[in-house]
Amino acid sequence: MRQITLDEVVSLLKENDDFLILTHRYPDGDTLGSSYALCHILRKMGKKANVLIDGNLPKLMSYLADDYEELSFEPSYIISVDVAAPALLGENMTQYKDKINLCIDHHGSNTMDAENIYVDANAAAASEIIFEILELCDINIDKDIACALYTGISTDTGCFCYSNTTERTHIYAAKLMSHCDWKKINRKNFQTKTRSKLKMERMVYDTMEFYAGGKCSIIYITQSMIKMLNAGDDEMEGLASIPSQVEGVLMGITMREKPDGIFKISVRTNEGINASDFCKQFGGGGHPGAAGCTIKGDLASVKYRLIKACEETL
């Protein structure tokens, strides 16, 4: 395992062939955008490359594979992109877990076990790193690459709104815009809600409660709610950001019951409250502003434990 430079990454891409690109579980716009973009770049370099996804491509993101066709070959060089830890690889990737040749990521907490590692924690998205690889490789940008990279950069920054956005995020976006239909991408990812998503949001709003003098807001999604609306992962997208967006809230907590009855907890914080520290007491972790953990128990008791811990923190 060695930390390498971006120039060395480019050399490795040029020297090798028959690439397999691994994405993280519950794939989002950035792991998919960066992986498809890298795949298109490698193919433009005359290489064979495929992208491996856990499960199906999310419906919302299906446009990313419009000009992608799986090639048939035995992979000999394994790259993970936007995967922060081995546990985040999909079940269909287990066989490659100990054979990763190159890890490209932007999570400062990266714990991947790979032959070569390139982590740029200042990049707002893994797609920013792939954009830099594209420029270093001297490959002409095309519609497919631009569409994938714009998708990754815009979704990981909440359309240039989140605090991870930087000057280079805007500059790369400016360079990508003329090469892809970014208006359509924005409309799809930020300006459209399905009717079932809308129903889920309304139901979740009805569960919202406030504690600690309005500084803590908590919402929940139970299995019976999920079943009632026949909701999938697409309907769950973005719910965790709802409670922390309410004025005056410093800690927003989202409880989501998994099919096995365990609650997946997402915590978002404002004004320097440390979400990761909060989640650590329940065996979880994450970023200072966004973290998670899992807690076993029924709705009322799990909620009680969270509220109590929250009131102690605030």
* Complex with its own copies: residue 204 or 293, whichever CB lies closer: 204
Collapsed DSSP state (helix, strand, coil) of residue 209: strand
* Complex with its own copies: residue 201 or 311, whichever CB lies closer: 201
The two most distant CA atoms of the chain are separated, in Å, by 61
Q: Which stretch binds its own copies (CB under 8 A): 33-41, 122-130, 136-144, 179-187?
A: 179-187
Q: How many CB atoms lie within 10 A of CB 308?
A: 11
Residue 55, sorted as left (phi over 0), alpha (psi -120 to 50) or beta, turns out to be left
Answer for which of 16, 194, 222, 274 binds its own copies (CB under 8 A) is: 194
* Complex with its own copies: residue 35 or 254, whichever CB lies closer: 254
**Binding pattern for the stretch 120-159 against its own copies, x by CB under 8 A and - elsewhere:** --------------------------------------xx
Q: Does 202 bind its own copies (CB under 8 A)?
A: yes
Q: How far is CA 235 from CA 213, 215, 256, in A?
A: 30, 26, 12
CA distance 148 to 137: 17
Q: Which stretch binds its own copies (CB under 8 A): 29-37, 91-99, 198-206, 290-298?
A: 198-206
Q: How many CB atoms lie within 10 A of CB 105?
A: 27
Would you give the end-to-end CA distance of the chain in angstroms? 41
Q: Which stretch binds its own copies (CB under 8 A): 44-52, 181-189, 257-265, 278-286?
A: 181-189
Q: Does 173 bind its own copies (CB under 8 A)?
A: yes
Shortest separation between residue 53's beta carbon and its own copies, angstroms: 23
Answer for which of 1, 71, 87, 171 binds its own copies (CB under 8 A) is: 171
Q: Which of residues 243-272 bind its own copies (CB under 8 A)?
A: 245-248, 270
What does the buried/exposed string (b/e) look like for 2-11 if buried means 16 or more CB atoms within 10 Å of the residue's CB? eeeeeeebbe
Q: Take residue 197 and report the two structure tokens written for it.
A: 């998503």
Q: Does 62 bind its own copies (CB under 8 A)?
A: no
List, in order, residues 6 or more apart from 37 with CB less than 8 Å away. 127, 130, 131, 134, 144, 145, 148, 149, 152
Footprint of its own copies on this chain (CB under 8 A)?
A: 158-163, 166-168, 170-171, 173-175, 177-178, 183, 186-187, 190-195, 198, 201-202, 205-206, 208, 210, 214, 245-248, 270
